[in-house]
Chain A
Amino acid sequence: MANTWQADPVLSVEHITMRFGGLVAIDDLSFNVGRNDITALIGPNGAGKTTVFNCLTGFYKPTEGMIVMRHEDGKNFILERMDDFRISQFAKVARTFQNIRLFAGMTVLENLVVAQHNTLMKASGYTVAGILGSRAYKRAEKEAVDKATYWLEKIHLIDRADDPAGDLPYGAQRRLEIARAMCTEPKLLCLDEPAAGLNPRESDDLNKLLLSIREDQGIGILLIEHDMKVVMEISDHVVVLDYGQKIADGTPAEVKIDPAVIRAYLGVDEEEAPPIAEKLITEAIARAENEPPAQQGGR
C-alpha cells in the first residue's frame, strides 16, 4: 500500500462492467485514482477508455459494479446512482470530451460563466432575485467573471475573451474546454485525449498547464492519452486497458516494461517484447523532443 492511489484514492472504480447488447465494452474493471495524482488511462483504439469516462460522469450507467468518489471531508458519492449533472454539481467530477464540445456560438467568457451555473443560480435567488436586479447577484456575477479571468490568463486566452468560442483555433479550444471544466471547481478532472491534434509546443504547454492545475488546485486529474511522451512525462500512475480489461496498473516506469502492455500495443510475443518496446518508446520520445515544432503542424 505504498502507492498514493492505494493510500488515498479520490476515486475508486470497483468491478465495473459495461455491456452494449452483446458487446462488452468494459469487463470487470477496477482501479483507483489518487487524490492529487495525474493518472493516465491508456489503451489501443476501442479499448473502452471513453466508455469508462462516460460511466464516471453518469452518461452511461455501468451494467455492474460500483464507482465511489471520496471527498477529503469524508463524504462519499456512489456515482453510478447519480444523475450526470449531479455528479458535476455535488460529487465534483468534471470532464472534457474527445470531440470538443464548447458552446461555439457563445463567447469565450460566456462559456466560462455558464460553467459556474449552479453558484450563480443560487446567488440569483433561483432567478427571482435576479429579475428584480439584486445586488448580491451583481456581486456574484462579478466574482464569476473574476474567476473566468483567472483561468483565461492561465490558458493565455484573455485577449480573446469576447470572441465566440467557435472562432478559436483548435488548440485554444482544447485549453478553453479544460478551463471551462475547471470553473465548476472539480475535485477530479477527467480529460479525454486533451493532447489530440496539438503540435509539440502546444502539447508542452498543455503539460505545464496540467501540472500547474494539479499543484495550485490540489485536485486529481484522470486523462486518456495516446501520446506516450505526455503519459511518461507527467503522469504518476498509469492504467492500461485492452478490450475493456485492465492489463496493467502502476507507475509509468513499471507499465512501459510490462509485457502485457507491449503485447497489446505491438502485438508481439511476450519474451521478446520488453526490450523492443522500451527501445521504441525511448526513440519516440527522443524524436518528439528533437523535432522542430514548426514542422509538425497541429490542425
Chain B
Amino acid sequence: MALAPQPTQQGGARAARSPTVPPGDQKRLLIDLLLTGLIASAIFGPIVGMSATAPQGGLVLQYRWGTVFWLVAAVVIGRLLLHLFVWNRPDWVKPIHVKRLGAGLVAIGTLALLLGLFVFDAPWFDAVGIFGLIAGAWFYISSSNETAAERGAPSPLAHAIEPLGKYLGIALLLIAIALPFIPGVDRRIVDLAILMLTYVMLGWGLNIVVGLAGLLDLGYVAFYAVGAYAYALLSTIYFPLWFGDGITPWAFWLVLPLAGLLAACWGLILGFPVLRLRGDYLAIVTLAFGEIIRIILINWYDFTGGPNGISDIPRPSFFGIPFTNDENGFAATFGLAYSPLQRIIFLYYVILVLALITNFVTLRLRKLPIGRAWEALREDEIACRSLGINTTNTKLTAFAIGAMFGGFAGSFFATRQGFVSPESFVFMESAIILAIVVLGGLGSQIGVVVAAIAVIGAFELFRELDFLKAIMPEGFDPTQYRMLAVGIAMVLIMRWRPRGLVTKRDPSIYLKEKKAVSADLVAQGHG
C-alpha cells in the first residue's frame, strides 16, 4: 500500500529492533556507526556544508564544515544511543534503565528549554532542550511499549489516549464555540483558528474519498480552487452583471451552494476517467487533474485573470448587513462599538458551522447505505459488485460529495482573503490535506481535527522559531525548512503509528455492543 508500510504492525517498539548488530559485538557496532557517519556526511556535506552565494559578480562557494561536523556527530551519537538502549541492548541495560534515561532526558530537556526561553535568552539552550525532549520521549515511549508488550498488554500510550478520544471531541467543540470570547484571544489567534478550521473541513471532505471510499486523490486542491474561483468570478463579475450591484452583500450566501455544486460537477468530471484506475495510477491521474486545473487558471487570462488572480472579492456580510464602520454597518445596527474584529469573528463562526455541517453529513452518510457501500468498496470492490452494488455510482458519489465540501471551503477561502490566485492552489496544498487525513488515521473524524491542529499549528510555530535563526549560520530562514520538519514528523509518526493517530474503526451499526474494529483488519482501499 502506498500510505503505510505494514498494516499488520501496531507499535514501533518491537519492530524497531534492528537485526544488523548482535548485542555485545563491538566491532560490528563500530562499523555500523562508521557507516552511519559516512551516510550522514554524504547527505549533509553537499546540502548543508556548501552554499553558493553571489556577492557582486560571480558565484562563490562557501563552506560550513563546522555545522556539518555537529550534525554528523548528532546522528552518530543518536544511533549509538539507539543501539545501546533501544535496539540491541546489552544485558546490563534493563527496560527500566531506558525508561529512566528517557524520563531524565525529558526533564533535562524541559529545564534547558525553560532556561533558554526565560532566563538566559540563549538559543543553544533551546536547541539542547528540544533535542532532549524528543529523544527522551522516544526512549520513554519505546521502553514502556516494550514492557507492555512483554506483559501482552496494549501500548500504554495508546491505551491512555484512546479513552480520552471520547471526551476530546466534546472538549474541542466547546473550546471552538467559545474561542473568540476567551480572554486573551486576539486577532492573530482567531485568524489561526480560521485557518485550522479550513483545513479541518478540507480534511473531512477528503476523508470521504480517501478514508471511507479508499480512493487515493492527490488532486483535491482542484475542488478547493473551483469553489474559490466560482465565488470570486460570480461575486465580482457575473452577479452584479445579472442582478445589479444590490446583490453583492448577499453574494456569499447565494454563491456558496452554487460553488459546492460546481465543485461536485468537477468531482464527477474527475471521477469518470479514473473509474477503472487503481492504486498508483489513480494517484497519478488525480495529481495531474489538480495541476491541469491550476494551469488552466494561470493561462485562461481573459476569464480568470491569469497569474494576477482576482482581487476585490466582496467580503461576507452578516446576512445582508455589511461589516462596515457606518450607520448601515453591523456595529451600528446592533448598537455595538465598531471593531474590525467583528468580521473576523463572524468569519470564524461561518467556517466553524461549515466544518460542523461537513462532519455531521459525513457521520450521517456513514450510517446510510451509500456510506456503507463506500467502506465496502474500500474493503473489496469485487465483493461489492457480486452483491449488486453499483461501484461506478458509489465511486462517483464519493468523488462528488468530497469535492462539494472542498468547493464550500474554497468559497469561504475566497471571501476571507478577498483575493484568489492560482498560487494558492498548488500541489503542496493537496499534500498537506492528505497528510492531515493520513496522520489523523484514515476514516477517523476526530483524528483529522487533531492532525489539522498539529500540522497547521506546527507550520505557524515555525515562523516563530527565532532561536533557530540564532544558532544556524547567517541567512537561515526557519520557514524554508518547515516542510522538512513536517516530513520528519510524518516519518516518525508513520513509524510509531503506521495507521495514523486514531487507529480504530467505529462500526456503523451494531446488534448488542459497539466494538471498535482494529485497524489491522481494515483495508486501505486500492489507492
Q: Are A149 and B511 in contact (CB under 8 A)?
A: yes
10 tightest A-B CB contacts, nearest first = A105-B522, A88-B388, A89-B388, A103-B379, A166-B521, A101-B383, A120-B369, A161-B511, A130-B368, A164-B517
Q: Are A121 and B510 in contact (CB under 8 A)?
A: no
Q: Are A164 and B372 in contact (CB under 8 A)?
A: no
Query: Chain A interface: which of B76-84, B202-210, B501-509?
Result: B501-509
Q: Are B389 and A95 in contact (CB under 8 A)?
A: no
CB contacts under 8 Å to A, within B505-527, are: 505, 507-515, 517-519, 521-523
B461 within 8 A of partner (CB): no
Residues A107 and B387 in contact in the complex (CB < 8 Å), given A114-B372, A124-B368, A127-B365: no
B370 within 8 A of partner (CB): yes
* Bound Cα distance A280, B385 (Å): 41
List 8 additional contacts besides A59-B382, A127-B368, A184-B387; criterion CB under 8 Å: A94-B386, A103-B383, A110-B375, A114-B384, A133-B364, A158-B511, A162-B510, A164-B517
A109 within 8 A of partner (CB): yes
B390 within 8 A of partner (CB): yes
Q: Are B523 and A117 in contact (CB under 8 A)?
A: no
Q: Are B386 and A110 in contact (CB under 8 A)?
A: no
B376 within 8 A of partner (CB): yes
Q: Are B383 and A102 in contact (CB under 8 A)?
A: yes
B514 interface neighbour in A120, A162, A181, Cβ under 8 Å: A162
Closest to B521 in A: A166
Contacts of B522 in A (CB 8 A): 104-105
Contacts of B388 in A (CB 8 A): 85-86, 88-89, 117-118, 184
Q: Are A84 and B379 in contact (CB under 8 A)?
A: no
CB contacts under 8 Å to A, within B473-527, are: 505, 507-515, 517-519, 521-523
Contacts of A102 in B (CB 8 A): 380, 383
B36 within 8 A of partner (CB): no
Closest to B515 in A: A162
A145 to chain B, nearest CB (A): 7
Residues A131 and B369 in contact in the complex (CB < 8 Å), given A101-B382, A164-B518: no
Contacts of B376 in A (CB 8 A): 103, 106, 114, 117
B386 interface neighbour in A84, A113, A120, A161, Cβ under 8 Å: A84
B324 within 8 A of partner (CB): no
A257 to chain B, nearest CB (A): 36
Contacts of B518 in A (CB 8 A): 164
* Bound Cα distance A85, B377 (Å): 13
Closest to B364 in A: A131
- Residue-wise interface mask of A (115-132) relative to B, using a CB-CB cutoff of 8 A (1 in contact, 0 not): 101101100100100110
A167 within 8 A of partner (CB): yes
Contacts of A149 in B (CB 8 A): 511
* Bound Cα distance A85, B388 (Å): 4
A79 to chain B, nearest CB (A): 13
A227 within 8 A of partner (CB): no
**What are 28 residue pairs bridging A and B, where the CB atoms are less than 8 Å apart in the complex?**
A59-B382, A59-B385, A84-B386, A85-B391, A101-B380, A104-B379, A105-B378, A105-B505, A105-B519, A106-B372, A106-B379, A107-B507, A110-B507, A114-B372, A115-B387, A117-B389, A118-B388, A120-B368, A120-B369, A121-B369, A121-B370, A124-B369, A131-B368, A141-B509, A158-B511, A161-B510, A162-B511, A181-B387
Interface size class of A (residues with CB under 8 A): 35 or more
A76 to chain B, nearest CB (A): 19
* Bound Cα distance A58, B518 (Å): 34
Closest to A158 in B: B511
* Bound Cα distance A101, B178 (Å): 48
Contacts of A58 in B (CB 8 A): 385
B439 within 8 A of partner (CB): no
Contacts of A101 in B (CB 8 A): 380, 382-383, 386
* Bound Cα distance A184, B388 (Å): 8
B40 to chain A, nearest CB (A): 40
Residues A117 and B515 in contact in the complex (CB < 8 Å), given A101-B383, A104-B523, A127-B365: no
* Bound Cα distance A107, B372 (Å): 11
A85 to chain B, nearest CB (A): 5
Contacts of B372 in A (CB 8 A): 106, 110, 113-114, 117
B39 within 8 A of partner (CB): no
Q: Are A84 and B385 in contact (CB under 8 A)?
A: yes
B373 interface neighbour in A88, A117, A162, Cβ under 8 Å: A117
B148 within 8 A of partner (CB): no
Q: Are A109 and B510 in contact (CB under 8 A)?
A: yes
Q: Are B507 and A117 in contact (CB under 8 A)?
A: no
Contacts of B515 in A (CB 8 A): 107, 162-163
A161 interface neighbour in B361, B364, B375, B512, Cβ under 8 Å: B512
CB contacts under 8 Å to A, within B371-410, are: 372-373, 375-376, 378-380, 382-391, 397
- Residue-wise interface mask of A (143-180) relative to B, using a CB-CB cutoff of 8 A (1 in contact, 0 not): 00100010000000010011110110000000000001
* Bound Cα distance A161, B397 (Å): 29
Q: Are B387 and A110 in contact (CB under 8 A)?
A: no
A57 within 8 A of partner (CB): yes
* Bound Cα distance A88, B224 (Å): 38
CB contacts under 8 Å to B, within A184-240, are: 184
Most buried by A among B375, B387, B510: B387
Contacts of A110 in B (CB 8 A): 372, 375, 507-509
B430 to chain A, nearest CB (A): 26
- Residue-wise interface mask of A (81-99) relative to B, using a CB-CB cutoff of 8 A (1 in contact, 0 not): 0001110110000110100
Q: Are B391 and A103 in contact (CB under 8 A)?
A: no
B9 to chain A, nearest CB (A): 16
B386 to chain A, nearest CB (A): 5
Q: Are B386 and A95 in contact (CB under 8 A)?
A: yes
Contacts of A124 in B (CB 8 A): 368-370
A224 to chain B, nearest CB (A): 15
